[in-house]
Structure 1
């Protein structure tokens, strides 16, 4: 708190349950709170639950009659806001008009209705990527355990394997999971070769 201003700084990922966490935090703010600002620069990933997060923030501002902002978006979360038609510098503002939306609408709903048809294919790819995230995270965790590497290195191994084999990342993740924990059918030959190359490059001991 800074006088009557509340500054919230979310960190990590906006996924299922994040809107409930925000609602709980907002309900515990002091009664004197006259403004709520969220610094989103520490958020590195969000799925569609992140949009519900924004709706909860906006609804709280309307209920308490206090201004609310969510600024500082970067990376993948900023890209999602752009894809769904929200302004990443001020995603709580209704697109294409000034003022406050009617209670029956939200910035997310209005943005979806106004989204250009040309973006639909990219939005669908984004949805598919988000749906595949749990498999990718599992494969990354298995690589970290099996090879003693950190999260960033495991991610680079997956990315490089996908690039070298010409295989989608979610397919590589499934193949890596099968290869590392010996579950299910063996990974295709091209993926196994690409994985071996990526492991050799990323885990090579530094020279003295």
Structure 2
């Protein structure tokens, strides 16, 4: 991953603790575009680890596409070194971003059963299992393709919200993500329900109420909503 150019302030911190052949990295704060400033430190941690990094994101209170790009960049760098990056814990905000983008599976490491050491417990220490880089890259491509298949419906739904409530593209995106979170509905499923309204299908009452509430918040506070309603427009993704 090339050195990123960043101008936004970095509101995130990391703490690295070695754990055997791996390193546990605890992340705190806000993972947005400014988190790109952490890239040199993250790469140094990865370089020092034997088999990779396990991320603890439980104390990350905000994450958008810029922050996700930092995590994906770390994963690709790890694959280049024959290592892995996993997410061992995540806050609800991070978890939702991973679910919406289909990226969660990219940070789950398979743990195959380890064979018996030669000579029993006192035998030679086994070598770490090599990373199947081709398989990991295919998995990432599959996830991106899946996201691309659902994107057209989401874009249409965003257009519906823009036209119905007179919102900008970014504010309409915020409304969709907020309603998705608060109704526990995947974004592409919510988009299809809104598209159905064009053909006369009723919008579920809970969804209608959450969309109305999100529109009211956007109009009151703008696109920068606090707490779990705060998300980034896809236009901010690198």
Give the TM-score, by structure 2 length: 0.45
Partner of 1:45: 62
Larger RCO (CA under 8 A, 6+ residues apart) = 2
Of residues 79, 94, 103 in structure 2, which corresponds to 1:62? 79
Distance 1:168 1:108, change over 3 A: farther
Partner of 1:3: 20
Distance 1:32 1:9, change over 3 A: closer
Partner of 2:150: 115
In the TM superposition, what is the alpha-carbon distance from 1:14 to its structure 2 partner? Answer: 0.8
C-alpha RMSD of the superposition: 3.7
Instruction: Determine the C-alpha separation between the residues in 2 that align with 1:72 and 1:49.
Output: 19
Partner of 2:219: 171
Of residues 84, 87, 90 in structure 2, which corresponds to 1:73? 90
In the TM superposition, what is the alpha-carbon distance from 1:8 to its structure 2 partner? Answer: 0.3
Give the TM-score, by structure 1 length: 0.50
- Map Cα deviations across residues 19-69 of structure 1 (whole Å, 9 max, x no partner): 340343222456453221101111121111022022212112112111211
- Map Cα deviations across residues 64-100 of structure 1 (whole Å, 9 max, x no partner): 11121123223222222222233x3x3446xxxx922
Q: Is the 8 A contact 2:21 2:50 kept in 1?
A: yes
Distance 1:63 1:91, change over 3 A: closer
State yes or no: 1:100 paired with 2:115.
no
- The structure carrying a bigger strand percent of its residues is 2
Q: Is the 8 A contact 1:81 1:91 kept in 2?
A: no
Q: Is the 8 A contact 1:83 1:119 kept in 2?
A: no
Give the gaps of 5 or more residues in structure 2. Answer: 1-17, 109-133, 159-168, 176-211, 223-238
Partner of 2:236: none
Give the gaps of 5 or more residues in structure 1. Answer: 131-161, 175-208
Distance 1:85 1:3, change over 3 A: closer
1:126-141 pair list within 5 angstroms: 128-129=173-174
Partner of 1:198: none
In the TM superposition, what is the alpha-carbon distance from 1:108 to its structure 2 partner? Answer: 6.3
Partner of 1:19: 36
